[in-house]
Structures are given as C-alpha cells and as structure tokens.
Structure 1
Amino acid sequence: MKKRYSRFVVATMFCMAVLAFAADDGQEKNTILHQAQLKFDQTGKTPTEIKFAGAQQPAVATFFQEYQKYFQISGDNQIQLYRSSYDQLGAHHRHIQHYKGIPIIGAEYILHEKNGAVWYANGRLVHDLKMDVAPVLSEAAALQAALRHIGAESYMWQNEANEAFLKRERNDANATFYPKGELQLTSGRAEITAANMKLVYRFDIYAAKPLGRYYVDVDAKTGAIVNQITRIHDVEVNGSGASLYNGTVAMRVDQVSGSSYRLQANDNTVRGADIRTYNMNNGTSYTNSTDFTSSSATGPWDDAGVSAHWGAEATYDYFFQKHGRNSLNNAGFTLLSYVHANLVGMGYPNNVNAFWDGSRMTYGDGDGVNYFPLVCLDVVGHELTHGVTDFSSNLIYSYESGALNESFSDIFGNAVELFKENPGQESGFPLARWRVGEDLTANGLGIRNMQNPNEFSDPDTYQGAYWYTGSGDNGGVHINSGVQNFWFYLLVEGGSGTNDVGYAYNVPSLGLTKAAAIAYTN
C-alpha cells in the first residue's frame, strides 16, 4: 500500500512517521478539530497523534477530560500517570491505561508539555475490552509454572551471598531477587487489541546458572506461558576483538585512607549520581567482586577498570550536559560496573560480551586475539543507554521494538563517543567513527556499521535487503537495528539515494546536536 507523507520524511527510516501526519489509504484519517490535528488508529477510535495550535493548547491536568470523547473508552478504564521526564523541549508525561485497576502492557499515551500546556500527544489505547480480571491460579502456582518454563539450574535468590549483595548494593534491608508476581493485561506478541488480551502474572526471574534475567508472563487463568522477555541487553559478536586504551584520562576516584584509593565516585559533588566500578577477578559472583585499588589517585590502575569507570562518567556527562538527564532514571541512579567477568562460567559461549541486566553493567574480557575487553567508550555508552531506555520507555526487547531498543543504544553510544573524542564537531566525522566497537576489535572494523549496515549483513531499509524475520537474536534485535542506525547517520551527515524498496531520498545534514535531540525525544 503506497504511503503519502506530508512533510519532513526521512525516507530511509521507513518504519516511523517522523513528525509527519501520514494518511494510509482508507485506514487512517486526519481531522482538524478545534485547531488540533488528530491522526486516528485503524479502528478510528483513538487519536494516535494530536498536534495542537499554539493558542489552543490544553492544560496537562485537564487533557484527558477535555478530549475524553475522542478516546472512547468505558468507565472500567483509567488513564494513570506512570512517569514524567524533563529535557530542553519541556516535560513528557507517560500514562498507562488500566482496566479495572490492572495495567495494560503497551497501552500508553504520552503528553508533551511546555509551560504547563500540551503541544503534542501520542500513543495508543485498547478499546471494547470486556473481560473478567479475577485470577484462577494463585501467585505461587503461577511462579512454579514460570520456573518450570525457565528451567535454570539455580536462581539468584537461592544463594544467601547473592541476597546479601543485593541488600548492600541497594542499601535496602528488604531487597531480594525472589520474584513477586504482578497482575497485568497483555497481548503477548500478538497485536495489542481487546481480543488478544490475557490476564497474566508477570515475574522478574533472575537465573544464576545459566545466567539470564527475564520477564515471564503466566496466564492467570490457565497457567500457560504467554510471553518471555529477556532483561539482559548485551553486545553480541561472533567471538573475536581489541581493547580501548584512551591514554591518560581524568576521572573521579575515592580516597579510602591516606594512601588507598578505589574506582568509586560517591560524593556527588561533581555529578548527581554515584559511579562505582568493581573487579570480578575472572569470577562469576558479584558478591565476590572487589574494588579496583591503587596507592595513588593517579595510579597505577587496572586499564580495563579505568576504561569502564571513565566511560560511565563520560556517559553520565553526555546525557546531563546534552539532554539535562541526571543518570539513567533522571533521578541520580547509581552507575555500577563489573569488569573482568567470567562470562563462560556464567553461561555465555565465550567472554566476548557485555550486558546491562536492569540494575548493573557487566563486562567480559574478550578472547585476547580478535576481541579485547569490551570497555571501549561506545560500548560502555551503548550498554548504559539500555538503562536510559528501561527507565524512559517500554520498548520490549524482542523483534521490532527490540531492534529500536538496540538502535537507540548504538545511537547514543556513538553520540557519547563523538561528544568525548570530537568535542564541538557537528558533522563530517571520519567513517571509522560510525563503526560500533571499532576500538575493541583487532581489525578495527567493529561489530556494526551505522554508515553502511549492509557491511555486516544488517539492513538499512525497513523490510529491505538483510531484513531478518526469524526468531533468533530475540527476533533480530541486533540485526534490524541497522535501519534506525542508518537513519541517524543520515540525520547527522546527510545523504541521498534510492533505498531497497524503491524510495528516493535526499536528507540534509542536521548535525549531531539536532539529530541526537530528535532521537532522544522519539
């Protein structure tokens, strides 16, 4: 079906209508009502986008009351504020739809506000939902079904040392890895419609051996597994790399005593968040990790520990200085990095990996031949951006939403690197700067190429060459990320051509600052 785009369309992104209100023949309709432009979903019941004229912008507090008739949802539904974030463009208020008090996964509406008024709103809601939300299974029975599904040899909460570690890490005597079920409504991997909704218990299950962390959704009526979503977001390569040595770098460290220092920055006098970096000593237990220490603030230090620690500082600085964000959650989240992890012992096929697990960063040492410790700046920025995404959106880590999740990490990992190593430059970057992980690979080619995703058999076009449709790699999250990666490259550097599906494009260079601002607010 041919699409007509009204303005500012980046032809290579293909899967997103960037600031444009599109009309799909016969399926979506645009309406100008009270000087607001509304774009409706395929049912014609919910505006998926509303753009308001300057003089007619409603107040945040009364938005849903004023526009309730356009959302057409019954009295059993509530729209509840979930989270607010703030940047140079104003405030962004994320709301989640609840049915009979139970949240609906994926049913969200975001109000973008400036000076108390809503200038833009977007999202989707579920209509005509009529179902019983009383569970048949107990939470305990549902948890046993989830554990049978995961089938791990051991779990984090079964080890007292792990439980003690978590309490110490969070400074919370009640913290535990033991999963608690939360009733939610979800369509699983099907389309988010009333017909596909199921009442589930959602558990956050952290397996110790083999290592894995997952959301598991168990049908609260039947005990069937509705969905499993990995929470560990990692850098995947084919088993080879090169370490990044940045020379002498400035960083904050903690003076424990007169002649004892460690890689921690806990005073909050320079940054609004603590940054702590630990040595796993080629082990598998976070509990047995130790401080990186030195007898002098200027070292000698462990090089990989310095790279991870400095990279975490650089990532914090980038998001704070460029987007006004105070750490991952915009509220001073502590940045925890664990270096020299034995990933093979944790269940990975090799040590060529790094991952964010929802709470902390873990870095492998590579294979020492083709890949070296995965602590280069863009990889550190990449993994910590997964944390930003976790706290900012509900991009489920599978299939297309997972590819967007991965791409945002590539984008901002790259932005952190450019911010630190090419300060003040807006465009015209060396092509090597558009490679992901180029510094950790022995051949200097990296693991992905944002300027030319096809080099690594990744697509640059939605459903074009190399587009992945299988279930491996969580539905191709590291592969199909190439589409949005190329989009970002074009926004920064500009470019023209014809894409794989026959669309001609000519994109002017916006420069890094504007391109990153667009990506950040997407």
Structure 2
Amino acid sequence: MLLARLGIRTQTMGTLATFIMAFGMLSYGQDLLPSPIDSTHNPPTEVATTAQENAAAKNVIMGWMVKNLGSKMAMKDPMQEFAMTSLFKDNTNQWNSQLTQMFNGIPVRRGHLQINVVEGAADASHWSGQYLNDPEVDTTPALSQQKAIEIAKKKLKQMLKQKGGEIEDSADVDNGAATAGNSNRPDSSLLVDSGKLPVATAALEIHPGDGPGKRKLTYHVVVRGHSAQGEVQLHAWVDQNGNIVEAYDNDQAVCVDGLGATLYQGYQGLFSGFFYGFGSYFKMFPAFGGYVLNDTCTRWGTFDNYNTVSSTYQAFSPSVIFGNLATSDRESTNADVALASRQTYTFEFYVLGRNGPDSFGGPGYYGSVDGLGPLVSARNHVMTNWVNARWDGSATNFGDGDNVTSGPLTSLDIVAHEWQHAVTQYTANLVYADESGAVNESFSDIMGAMTERYWYGETPYYVCGLNTWKMGELAWTPGNGNCDALRYFYSPESGNQPRFYQNRQIGGLDNGGVHTNSGISNYAFYIISKGGCGYFCMTAYPSGIGASAATNIFWRAERVYMGPFDGFAELRQKTIWAAGDNYGRGSLVWAQVRDAWDAVGVPKMCTFNFFGLCLSYGD
C-alpha cells in the first residue's frame, strides 16, 4: 500500500516462490534494443545429403543419446522412447536433429531433444531438451476424436465471440471474366483461396498434466474460425473426461500498438514516447468493436472499477487512442496504469531478472479477452476520491485521489511501488506489520523510484517535477505545484518519517508504523547510493556506490536472504551479506553499506540468541 496518512491498512499474504530467472545482476545500461545483425557472417543453410548419409548421421546421433543422456535423464529405453522428427546437415558441416519423446507410439507433449553433431565427431557439439520420466498412461481412448473436436469447437465459439463474433467469408466473384462496368467483382478464374477453413484435426498426445504421476492421455485438437478481427487458430488438448487442459490461439497477430494519451507521461505508443525496435510499450487488444487494455504479449491487463469498490470492467476505447492527456477522460489514467505496468514489467525483467511478480508470468487474475487465461491485473478508478493505492494479494488497485491531497495515484513510481509489493509477496513475503512491514514498504519505495530512474534517468534531489529521490511527486498535492512529494529519500522528515532508527515509531497506528518507519531504510539506501553521513556514522563517504549497485545489493538481500519476520537489523545484515557476495567481504562497497547502517543507527543483527540473551552479533 502506498499511503499511511489516511490510516488505511491492508495485509499482504501469499506463498514463497522458490524460482528466480537466471538474469542475476543485469545493469541499468543493458540495451533494450536488439543487437544489429552482423552482416559479415552468413547464416547456416541446409545442404543436400543422400539417404545413406542421413542414416549414418541418425545412427551416430541416436547412439550418442543412448550413451550420454540415457542414464543422465533416467530414460528407460531411449531407442524406443524417442523418434527423430527432423534431420539436416548445414553448410557448417553440422548435423542438426530434433527428436520427439514417444510412449506406445503416441507423442509425449514437451518431451523433446535437439542434438547437434559435427560431421565425423564422436560427441555432440550442443544438445538441449527435456524428458518426462513417467509418461505411462492408459493409451486406450475413452473419448472419440469427434467428441474432442466438438468440445474444442465450443471453446472456439467463445473465442470468436470475444473477437467481435464469428463471420463466414463468401467469395463474391463473377463466374466469367470481369468487365469494365463490373470491375469491383473479381474473376473467379483468379481465385487463389476461397477462405474455406481446413478440416479440424485431433491426434492423441500424452500431456504433462499437473506434473509427475498426473500425466493425461489427450487429443491435440486444431480447429479454426473467422472472427470480425481475423482468424482464430485454436490448439486445444482435451483429456478423456472432456476437459480442456491446455489451449492457445496460434494466430500470432495478437497485442496491438495503441496510443495512450496519459495524464503523467504524455503521448505513448504509435511512434510516440518510449519505442523499441518492434513497437511501442503501449499495447492493447481489439475486442467488443473497439480496444481493451489487455497486453496479450506480456499477459498483463488494466481494468476499470468505475469508482466502485468491487465491480470491475474492461478498460475500453472505441479507437486506438486511450485518453486525452487530462482527467476529463477516464481513459487517460487507465492509459497511465497500463503503460506504467508494462514499464514495471520491463524493469523487473531486465534488472531484477523476473518474469512478472511471481517470476512465472503471473499471478494472473482477470481473464483475457483472447480466452487464453488470466492476466496479471491492475484495477484503476477504485472507489470515489480514494487517496490511495494498494496491492491486495491478487491485483493492484489505484484511486483517483481527491484533487487536494493528491491527484490520480497512477504515476510511474506509484504503480511500480504497488507491483513491488506483489514481488515481495512471492519472495521474502515480509509480514505487513511493525519492522518487517516497514521493510516491505521500503522495498516498494526503492524499486518504485528505481523503475522511474530506469526509464527517465537519475535526477538530483533538489529538482521540481519528476525526481528520482521523491515518491509520488507528480501526484501529490496537485494544487501546490510539483515540488513537494509523499516521501523523500534524502530527507525523510520532510514526509513525516524518521531518518534514524532511534526515532522510529513503536506500535500504534499504521500496523506499527509501516509507512512511517520505512524512511529509515529509504535514507540508508540514499546514503549507500549517493554518499553522505548521518549523526551516528563514523565515516563520511563523499560519494556513494551508485543507485544501480545499491539496487542490486538490496534486491539480492530481498530475494536470497530476507525472511517474513525480518526487521531493520536483519535488513542491515543481509544487505551487508549481499554486498559481500557482489563485491567481496571487506571491500570498499561492503564497508560503505555497513557504515550507512551505522549512519542511520540500525543495530547489528543478533546471530546467536540464548534464551533472550544475545551472545553474538553480525557484520
């Protein structure tokens, strides 16, 4: 949650995720654009081979698989369990193969191998893939192919309806040659494709199901239809009970570039604002005769509560333009939330190494109009004149403000702040009360500010307007200009927060001061990043280690070391551990992190507690 001054509280609950993508510590300077193509290298191309050469290469590859992967992947009978589905030799003299896992002659979905062997070599140059070690299911179908197709067609009709309804294409042609007076009707002899849909197909496949011991015999059904917005090519896996266990639309033209006329970030999308090699960061989806803010590329969505507590609708525009740069059009701040959410997703991916808050592309909540599952969801226009924003354990929520205390709570740093609460739920899962709650809030402030920095660059603390070291500066007290803010990293007391641990709030309102006491670690982060000194420090560093390095340290501490009940002493110790991991124990960076915590008066963590008596301390 963003605010404390109004006394509104929430709790964040969830389970601890155990996976982190292997992007580790990517720096802020990483290029978001694709690397230019190296024209000095020719891409590999297929060369002609004989049947005898193919057979010999196949024997080498299969033999290598048996010898090197059979025991490693606990295969039962490799020669019988894999069928080679593709084999070719390229102009680099390398044989390239793809193999599909089989059980009783039925393909096993997601069981596959790619093996590459250079001509004449005994070992593979590369290999990748996976093996499902328990595909044994009853392979006698209880459901007919035709029934599986009917079930998939029902799903298809739902998807077509969501895309403006099903249409049938009737070719308007002349049976004879076109004439000058009838030139708008084509000659039937020129017809290439009448638009007749291919016949639906259904083939048995063993589906991974819900994991080991829960594999399923399914029909892989492919069925197509025409909607008002184009073709839908549905791939569905139907189990023997008639349930669709997996489905997707193979029509690859999905998320569409739109134009967001946002309140806080101006025009974004359609060659305006932030742009990369393949399109804009403002995405939408065609539906209901217009467009909705379903980003089906990243699987995130923005929804509109129309100033209610719990009634949620698709954020909709009849055209590709969302908003008018002002609050007179409710879509302006819907566009803000959609854009800022995608910006947060990008920051999380490239800086934190996460694919969404749970790092598995989720958590999804509201369904997408494409019918392919839920989206990571944000609600805007929640309640009337609500001066707050929050993560409720399932979705983010943003209020319109009262235009006195605040304007709409949809600026980039605020939106990113709330999404970081979701990340924390799936990592450290810090309890939202007392010191652990304050640390939770501080992580959200830090990552909210660093998301803004990622997109706009770092600004000095003293500037008005967009400012790295202030929270909520664009939304707060709109009548006072844009020099004040909700919270201040460099001067916590300016936002009614303590700078030093000794001045912290203990107990009382706001779940024990979660929004108040977060100023302590915010200030420590600022000192680590920019340098300086507090009343309690022994060493004043004229410059800090930089915000990028500080972000990596705090993120590593949260992701790797922090636990649900950790407070400031634990945060101190675990950022010191993280600094040691990244830069070496005893290094200058390690010392600066330690001394910053001294500067704000946070004590060392007790490392050995004997019946309430601390016998040793950290650092």
TM-score when scaled to structure 1? 0.49
TM-score when scaled to structure 2? 0.41
